[in-house]
Amino acid sequence: MTTKKITNVGGDDAPQQRPAFVATAEAKAQAKQFRLYAAILWILAIVAEIGAMVILFKKDPEIALSTGMRVALIVILLIDLILLIAGSSFWKKSNRFDPASNRDALKFMLQNQLGVVVAAIAFLPVVILAFIKKEYLVGAIAALFMVGGGAASADYHAPSQEQYSQQTSRVQDLTGGNNVYWTKSGTKYHIYQDCPHINTSRTDEIFSGTVAKARELKNITELCKTCEARAEKEKALKGGAGVQSQPIALPDANAKPEKK
Ligand SMILES: [Zn+2]
């Protein structure tokens, strides 16, 4: 810590500068595998769609399909839907292992919401064709599947490199390390393994690992508030944990060079 006057001319405070999150080689390999599964399932979904379109294409718009044919079409569309959602689920998993950076907003959105785009590709053409061929029931069901499949394929907790690095820094700042605890069904990660929220009679297994691991495996996005408060307190008592010694309670002339 310098004793010199610091003139802030804008930009982040120095301690806020975080190292960018980089997925490990192992995580990247896992992500690649999940992306391959997603691609295969999505291609199969589109193959199912093409199958349904072939049936519709051959149909005379003035002659209604037989009930059996209609049922067959709906079953094919259902298979299309299942393959789409399965593919999207692998795709979302892959992004947890190797998240995109949110610096490029368009690329970030495309990578995280690619499943929604595939939902449109896997259903919109068949919806249009069904209506052209006056198969309104089939068309309406396909439209419903497109909306449902799109909603199931969207990522509502899209991971970003910046988020991973921010969450990791927070834990490192509090504890001096990068190790957290979580449970199978928990929605938060914890700093202390004896936190009352996880150390209960209902829990028989506690997992531990880095913040990124909690995200990769369980998509846990939140730090437990109880643990956070406790860590803040312990850090203040110790006069700062491990890495940085910043007295929190004491007023320090050099700590905050705020001058107007
Ligand atoms: Zn906790």
CA of 186 to the centre of ligand 1 (A): 10
11: DSSP letter? S
Confidence of residue 250 (pLDDT cuts 50, 70, 90): very low
CA of 237 to the centre of ligand 1 (A): 19
Confidence of residue 19 (pLDDT cuts 50, 70, 90): low
pLDDT tens per residue across span 149-169: 999 999 999 999 999 999 999
pLDDT of residue 61: 86
pLDDT of residue 247: 44
CA of 239 to the centre of ligand 1 (A): 22
> Among positive and negative, which fits the CA dihedral 166, 169, 174, 180?
positive
pLDDT of residue 201: 83
- Cα separation, 238 vs 236, in Å, equals 5
- Using an 8 Å Cβ cutoff, are 112 and 158 in contact? yes
pLDDT at 68 over 50: yes
Strand partners, 223: 189
For residue 187, what are the contacts with CB-CB under 8 A and spacing of at least 6?
Answer: 220, 222
pLDDT of residue 257: 43
pLDDT of residue 29: 96
pLDDT at 218 over 50: yes
CA of 199 to the centre of ligand 1 (A): 9
Q: Report the percentage of the chain scoring pLDDT > 90.
A: 73
Describe the chain by its helix, strand, coil percentages, rounded to 5.
60, 5, 35
Average pLDDT over all residues of the chain: 88
pLDDT of residue 62: 87
pLDDT tens per residue across span 85-104: 999 999 999 999 999 999 99
CA of 166 to the centre of ligand 1 (A): 19
**Among the listed ranges 57-61, 114-118, 239-243, which one has the minimum average pLDDT value?**
239-243
Residue for token digits 């914890």? 190
More confident residue, 40 or 241: 40
CA of 164 to the centre of ligand 1 (A): 19
CA of 117 to the centre of ligand 1 (A): 38
Angle CA(38)–CA(22)–CA(157) in degrees, nearest 5? 50
pLDDT of residue 207: 92
CA of 245 to the centre of ligand 1 (A): 24
- Using an 8 Å Cβ cutoff, are 242 and 178 in contact? no
